[in-house]
A and B are shown apart, each in its own frame.
Chain A
Amino acid sequence: KAGVTQTPRYLIKTRGQQVTLSCSPISGHRSVSWYQQTPGQGLQFLFEYFSETQRNKGNFPGRFSGRQFSNSRSEMNVSTLELGDSALYLCASSVGLAGGDSNEQFFGPGTRLTVL
């Protein structure tokens, strides 16, 4: 069974631009969560989508948004990029909503975003 895939793996943008990242979950998984990983803040939860609906949201500004399609694939968009948005963005999928006793999250390799 194929794992979680994320595209692109690396991205370089300049301040003020916008970016869209893509995540394809494991087949049969309906939940996709997004995380931002930085050396300073560690791993921070952005949002979770389940059956095309945002179910949970972390403490990030409205510049960060996402969506999920009917095939469970998800995209994350960041508008008006800032230098501080440089990070590794990780996507994770699970069968049901993240967490809990049985809904283990499987992570993709991440997209490394650099904002210049």
Chain B
Amino acid sequence: GDSVTQMEGPVTLSEEAFLTINCTYTATGYPSLFWYVQYPGEGLQLLLKATKADDKGSNKGFEATYRKETTSFHLEKGSVQVSDSAVYFCALASGGSYIPTFGRGTSLIVHP
């Protein structure tokens, strides 16, 4: 079945550092890929998405590129802020099932 593997956290960075959160997936067909963010005490918010190979999703300085050859969708940001502290979820939705499959989430802590 479909699955998503994320790097375990927490990831702890200083403000303005470069961020990478790794995400790899297993799916049948050609899934759509998503990154969601969950701030403390809130529900998940869609951060960015990509629907086909080589697409790059971007939002609020975050980027991720759909790499079919490595089945990856790594999240990056060039300069993190304290306000980026949250839990980040990688997810996929494949054509065979419309139910999104989520990774376990990666906690990001950014210090001033």
Given contacts A98-B93, A99-B32, A101-B32, contact A42 B44 (CB under 8 A): no
Q: How many residues of A contact B (CB 8 A)?
A: 23
Q: How many residues of B contact A (CB 8 A)?
A: 23
**Which residue of the partner chain, among A58, A99, A109, contacts B98 with CB atoms under 8 Å?**
A99
B41 and A109 contact, CB distance less than 8 A:
yes
Chain A residues within 8 Å of B46, by CB? 104-106
Contact with A along B24-46 (1 / 0, CB 8 A): 00000000100010000111111
Question: A98-B93, A99-B93 given as contacts; is B98 within 8 A of A56 (CB)?
Answer: yes
In the bound assembly, the distance between CA atoms of A105 and B97 in angstroms comes to 15
What B residues does A109 contact at CB under 8 A?
41-43
Contact mask A92-114 → B, CB, 8 Å, 1/0?
10000111110111111110000
Q: List 16 A-B contacts (CB under 8 A).
A: A45-B99, A90-B44, A92-B43, A98-B93, A98-B98, A100-B93, A100-B95, A100-B98, A104-B46, A105-B100, A106-B46, A107-B36, A107-B45, A108-B43, A109-B41, A109-B43
Binding site for B on A (CB under 8 A): 4, 33, 42-43, 45, 48, 56, 58, 90, 92, 97-101, 103-110
Q: Which 3 pairs show the lowest CB-CB distances between chains A and B?
A: A99-B93, A107-B43, A99-B98
